[in-house]
Structure 1
Amino acid sequence: MSRFLSNATNRIDAKGRVSVPAAFRAVLVQRGIQELYCLQDFVYPAINIGGPDLLERYERKVAAEDPFALEANEMSLLLHGGGVFTRLDAEGRLAVTDFIRDFTGISSEVCFVGRSDHFQVWQPQAFHEAQARAREVVRQRGLRT
């Protein structure tokens, strides 16, 4: 299955790298993704990570807007000003850069969270709190699995 599912927490090594879960690396290989687009999430203190297709999907949305409209300008500011490209090293590790640390609050551990066509990196406690809040909202709406 070529979707990013589940979550896992890994420790950052002394050189500031973290191993991406094997299941996530397998999806990257299956999809032929070598260069990763990293984007600061619009809602959560998380970094969205996917292939160039993730950036292209957002850019199509911007292109559909009037290029002089405030909405298109703001979206471009977030997509391009809040995004970077990176690669995993030969051992499947991600460098936990200041770009990631400053936005997420990550210090010693990274929580990887599957989001179907991309994945996110979170500070573990922030992820568990956000997931609990989301579960409570869904419960209050009366939705069941």
Structure 2
Amino acid sequence: MNRFLSNATKKIDAKGRVSVPAVFRTVLAERGIEELYCFQDFIFPAISIGGPDLLDRFERQIDQEDPFSADANDMSLLIHGGGVFMKLDAEGRLMVTDFIRDFTGIGREITFVGRADHFQLWEPQAFQAAQAAARKARFGGRSGA
């Protein structure tokens, strides 16, 4: 298992920490990821989290652009200006900071969502609504979908 799959909703403790699902921690360990690159998603009200290789991938994209172009500058604003590095504590918990809360609207619960090479943090109802909208767009509301 080397991909982030599925989703899980967890409660945030009184100190503002949340336990990362064990299956996600396993993927982080298998990939040797200790420092988490967290950024404000480009489309959804979610925080996307991966390893430094995720940041490297975005920076390679910027390197292919003219450094003075609007595209390169926009991308840098998103991945550098909208990103931070974080670490899990010894118990596998993540601190739910204002950086996360302000962008997502997360309150007392948080939904972890697998996205193959990274995972996301969502406000639970926002995730359910986005997933339902994606399903409806994909399947046109057909039954059995």
Give the TM-score band, short-chain normalised.
Answer: over 0.9
Paired residues of 2:135 and 2:141 also in contact (CA < 8 A): no
Whether 1:65 aligns to 2:65 is yes
After superposition, give the CA deviation of every residue in 1:43-87 in whole Å (9 maximum; x if it has no partner): 000000000001011111111001010110010011100000000
Distance 1:105 1:84 in 2: 18
Tell me the secondary structure at the aligned position of residue 81 of structure 1: coil
Shift of 1:140: 2.5
What is the aligned-residue RMSD (CA, Å)?
Answer: 1.4
1:141–1:74 distance in 2 versus 1, CA, 3 Å: farther
Q: Which residue of 2 aligns with 1:20?
A: 20
- Runs of 4 or more consecutive aligned structure 1 residues displaced over 3 Å after TM superposition: none
Q: Which residue of 1 aligns with 2:8?
A: 8
Paired residues of 2:47 and 2:120 also in contact (CA < 8 A): yes
Tell me the secondary structure at the aligned position of residue 25 of structure 2: helix
State the aligned residue count.
144
Shift of 1:96: 0.1
Distance 1:117 1:73 in 2: 25
1:16-95 alignment to 2 at 5 Å?
16-95=16-95
Gaps of 5+ in 2: none
After superposition, give the CA deviation of every residue in 1:91-132 in whole Å (9 maximum; x if it has no partner): 000000000000000010010000000000000000000000
Q: Which residue of 1 aligns with 2:138?
A: 138
Give the letter aligned to residue 26 of structure 1.
Answer: T
Shift of 1:141: 9.6
Amino-acid identity (%): 69
Give the letter aligned to residue 100 of structure 1.
Answer: I
1:20–1:73 distance in 2 versus 1, CA, 3 Å: same
Distance 1:95 1:141 in 2: 38
1:98-113 alignment to 2 at 5 Å?
98-113=98-113
Gaps of 5+ in 1: none
Distance 2:39 2:141 in 1: 30
Paired residues of 2:3 and 2:116 also in contact (CA < 8 A): yes
Distance 1:87 1:105 in 2: 21
